Amino acid sequence: MHVNYWREVHTSGPGRIGLGLLLLVAIAAVLAPLLTSYQPAAYTGAPFMAPSAQHWLGTNDVGQDIWTRLLYGARTSLAVGGGVALLSLCLSVMVGCSSALLGGLYDRLMMRLVDALIVIPPVIVAILAAAYLRPNTVLLIVLLSLFLWPGGARVVRAQTLSLKERMPVYAARTFGAGQLHLLFNHIIPDLGPILIALMIQDARRAVFMEAGLSFLGICDPTVVSWGKMMQHALKFVYLDVWRWWLLPTGFALSLTVMGFTFTGFALETALNPRLRKEAGHADN
Amino acid sequence: MVFTGYLNKIHIKSGYIMQECVQARHVPIRNKVFKKASVLNRASLLNYVVALLIILTMNFFIPRLMPGDPLQAIYGNEALLVMTPELQEELIHRFSLDRPLGEQYASYLLSLCRGDLGHSYYYNAPVLKVISGFLPWTLLLTGLALVISTLVGFLLGVESGSRRGRPLDQFLLGGIMLFSGFPDFFMGIMLLLFFGVFLSLAPLSGALTPYAGHSGLMLVVDLLHHLVLPLAALVLVRLTATYLLTRNTMITTLGEAFILTAKAKGCPERVIRYRHAGRNTLLPVVTAAGLQFAHLVTGTLFVEIVFSYPGLGSLLYKSLLTRDYPLMAGILLVLTVVVLTINLLLDIFYPKLDPRVAKCT
């Protein structure tokens, strides 16, 4: 039972690639002001300049530095990814754990709600809501979280159901531990690795969806976003600028998503006892 | 789209089924078993009804949360300017917009039952009529993408899972996971730039060559010529979920006792791979295909925009740009209904594929 998940993930090939990519994007986002001397919205030179020592990736149609915008765009992507991951995880844990511990009618009602919500495509609802309401980053995070939590709630509920029958929990209950004590001291710590896997999965989907929505023009007009940059760059595809405007932006987005994919895959392999055991055999 | 999710969902689903199995076996009277079956079907139908109601309610309430009177909120200021007073009067009357909220909701649901989704001011036509002109292209693209990506993903997954750890498996795993990292629309852009702009092999936009007047075989060739790039973009990105699921299920299935029996009998390798292991692997893949369909539809919207393919995605983009709110709401509603229907059909179809489920429930 005692598997060192961290070691399993960061020693496996995909895990190492994934963590490396995520670290790279995180550094770019955090250290953006140090890595460039321009502001993302400032007009820094002539429009459509080719890459040079001053402008590593050239300038766009209004003379903004593309490299700077790429760095600041990472902030938006990671903020939405992280925000959605945290918020939808909270919802998943709240609903999943409470319905597993309380059971009965409440459990059945909640699981019915989960079953219904899970078939609704989140992007489609977000487009509708964001088109009417004024789109901003916080609203986007809330909207995406509202439709991403059901999958996690199912997983959390199933795990909690099995955890609450385990010896330590049973022993704690005979000593008179309340439901909340059981939840916070026994069940949530044991859920740890699964919660992280869920967060990675939600973050990945959120980054994907944020890019898609801003590609459609549904995003906070004041922030720099990779999706919006690509949509903008696509209008000038008849010029040569796509080489240093469209492609780097797309690859930055893809690398972020791949970082989540590979890390998630490594963690999934470590978490799934069947896959892990087989891997051990293969190594032997 | 996400592998952990699928695996867990499916494990849980089969968990439910196992529970039901155990319970059913303890029930001595056959009647009770049959009762359970009908209850389960009704329950899954209820899920879809609840999901549809959630969407309808959101569709109804979000515009009405806006300031201003409902007509202004639903249609937007630009639309009100170009609308004649007669049309405004008619719309207010048709959707009882001057009545209390409860009555408005009832009238909204009633008009939906009549197939009345409102009036598109940009096209100056009923929304449903506009949508029905664009829907077939989206269905063609999505349907083909679903079938091809499931089929190819399954075949590659079987081959890869039965060769775990060997070079072909490593190559496929790495390559396909790399593809899945590209968002659909970026994959579309790259294919468009490479095959359309750089090599000039494929047309840049549209679904048919305009004014070409093709018929018969030429029409089909022209159609496929326009279809191949958007379809390739979707299939390449959407392949991963099916592939990974098949591969993982394949690995666990190959460890089971009946595979050993088949090997001991002297079954050829290929027969074991497809008849014994592959068939069992197909079940979770079909379940996942339904869940994946929602993501596929969303992906199709973006890919259509990139390739200016005349489907609902392009229409949605246009309605966003022109602020044609009723058209937008109508498109999203139609798409959700399509997704729900496909999932419902799969739920009905599933027991036929897996006799164990039918017997249990």
Q: What is the pLDDT of residues A142-201, one digit of tens each?
A: 888 988 888 888 888 888 888 888 888 888 888 888 888 888 888 888 888 888 888 998
By three-state DSSP, how is residue A77 classified? helix
User: How far is A123 from A147, CA to CA, in rounded Å?
Assistant: 9
pLDDT at B118: 78
Q: Which residues pair with B125 in a beta bridge?
A: B120
Domain contains A51: no
CA-to-CA distance for B98 and B78, rounded, in angstroms? Answer: 21
* Element containing residue B119 per DSSP (H, E): strand B119-120
* Interface subset of B 185-244, CB within 8 angstroms of A: 185-186, 189-190, 193, 197, 244
Considering the domain boundaries, does residue B278 fall inside one? yes
Q: What is the pLDDT of residue B33?
A: 44
Quick check: A117 and B3 CB within 8 A?
Answer: no
What is the Cα–Cα distance from B92 to B96, expressed in whole angstroms? 5
Distance CA B92, CA B205 (A): 39
* CB-based contact, A280 to chain B, within 8 Å: no
Residue of B nearest to A267 (CA): B4
Which of B73, B180, B297 has its CB closest to that of A121? B297
Q: Considering only residues 30 to 89 of chain B, which have any Cβ-Cβ distance to chain A shorter than 8 Å?
A: 43-44, 46-48, 50-51, 54-55, 58-59, 62-63, 65-66, 73
Sign of CA pseudo-dihedral B360, A100, A152, A220: positive
Q: Tens of pLDDT along B269-310?
A: 888 888 888 888 888 888 778 778 888 888 888 888 888 888
- Say what the pLDDT of residue A82 is: 92
Question: Among all chains, which residue has been given the structure tokens 């990105």?
Answer: B237
**Domain range holding A215?**
5-45+56-281
Q: Is residue B14 part of a domain?
A: no
Q: Give the residue from chain B lying closest to A209, CA to CA.
A: B183
Confidence band for A280, pLDDT divided at 50, 70 and 90? very low
CB contact under 8 A, B305 and A128: no
- Predicted confidence at residue B27, as pLDDT, reads 40
Using one digit for the tens of pLDDT, what is the confidence trace for A88-129? 999 999 998 888 888 888 888 888 888 878 878 888 888 888
ipTM entry: 0.79
Q: Is residue B158 part of a domain?
A: yes
Give the residue from A119, A208, A234, A244 with the most B CB atoms within 10 Å of its CB, the best one to mutate. A119
Nearest to A261 among B55, B177, B343 (CB): B177
Would an 8 Å CB–CB cutoff place A112 in contact with chain B?
A: yes
Question: Rounded to whole angstroms, what are the CA distances from B206 to A216, B40, B193?
Answer: 19, 45, 15
A4-37 per-position pLDDT tens digit: 777 777 777 778 888 898 999 899 888 878 877 7
* pLDDT at residue B36, as a whole number: 47
CA gap B293, B289 in Å, rounded = 6
B41 falls within a domain:
no
Domain membership flag for residue B140: yes
Locate A203 and state its tokens: 């973050």
- B197 inside domain: yes
> Is position A229 within any domain?
yes
CB of B124 within 8 A of CB of B336?
no
The answer to whether residue B122 sits within a structural domain is no
CB contact under 8 A, B190 and A158: no
Q: Which of residues 276-315 of B touch A (CB under 8 A)?
A: 291, 294-295, 297-298, 301-302, 305-306
- With CB atoms and an 8 Å threshold, state whether A125 touches B332: yes
| Pair A5, A271: CB distance under 8 Å | yes
For residue B166, give both structure tokens: 């060997």
* pLDDT over 70, % of chain B: 81
Question: Does A41 map to a domain?
Answer: yes
What stretches of B308-354 show up as alpha helix (H) in DSSP? 312-321, 325-353
Burial of A188 (0-12, 13-18, 19+ CB in 10 A): middle
- What span, in angstroms and rounded, lies between the C-alpha atoms of B325 and B341? 24
- By the 8 A CB rule, do B297 and B289 touch? no
- B335 contact residues in A (CB cutoff 8 A): 121, 124
Please indicate whether, in this complex, the C-beta atoms of A204 and B55 are within 8 angstroms of each other.
no
Distance from CA of B73 to the nearest CA of A (A): 9
Residue contact B182–A254, C-beta within 8 A: yes
What integer is the mean pLDDT of B100-109? 79
* pLDDT for residue B29 is more than 70: no
Number of domains in chain B: 1
* Separation of alpha carbons B255 and B318, rounded Å: 52
Report chain B's mean pLDDT, rounded to a whole number.
Answer: 77
Using pLDDT thresholds of 50, 70 and 90, give the confidence band for residue B43: low
pLDDT exceeds cutoff 90 at B39: no
Domain count, chain A: 1
Closest Cβ–Cβ partner in B3, B305, B336 for A265: B3
Rounded to an integer, what distance in angstroms lies between the CA atom of residue B202 and that of residue B289? Answer: 29
Q: Does some domain include residue A50?
A: no
One-letter amino acid at A133 equals L
pLDDT, tens only, A195-237: 888 899 899 889 988 888 888 888 777 888 888 888 888 887 7
- The amino acid at residue A188 is I
Residue A257 sits in a domain whose CATH number is: 1.10.3720.10
Element (DSSP H or E) covering residue A129: helix A122-132
CB-CB neighbors (< 8 A) of B329 in chain A: 128
Within the 220-279 window of chain A, which residues sit less than 8 Å (CB to CB) from chain B? 230, 234, 237, 242, 246-247, 250, 253-255, 257-258, 261-262, 264-265, 267-268, 272, 274-275, 278
* Residues in chain B within 8 Å Cβ distance of A201: 2, 4-5
Tokens of A15: 């895990």
Query: Among A120-124, B331-335, B336-340, where is mean pLDDT lowest?
Result: A120-124
Task: Give SS3 for A245.
Answer: coil
Amino acid at A271: L
The pLDDT of residue B40 is 52
**CA–CA gap between residue A245 and residue A59 (Å, rounded):** 8
Residue A177 inside a domain? The answer is: yes
For the cut 80, the answer to whether the pLDDT of residue B128 exceeds it is: yes
Q: Stretch B2-16: mean pLDDT, rounded?
A: 40
Expressed as residue numbers, the domain containing B183 is: 133-359
Q: Is B270 exposed, middle or buried (0-12, 13-18, 19+ CB in 10 A)?
A: exposed
CB contact under 8 A, A212 and B302: yes
Tens digits of per-residue pLDDT, A47-73?
A: 777 777 777 777 777 777 878 888 888
Confidence class for position A86, pLDDT limits 50, 70, 90: very high
A118 CB neighbours in chain B (<8 A) are 9, 291
**Would the pLDDT of A284 be above 50?**
no
**B208 within some domain:** yes
**Could you tell me if B144 lies within 8 Å of chain A, comparing CB atoms?**
no
What CATH code is carried by the domain that includes residue B348? 1.10.3720.10
- pLDDT at site B68: 65
Grade residue B55 by pLDDT with cuts at 50, 70 and 90: confident
pTM for the predicted model, two decimal places: 0.80
Task: Verify whether the Cβ–Cβ distance A275 to B251 is below 8 Å.
Answer: yes
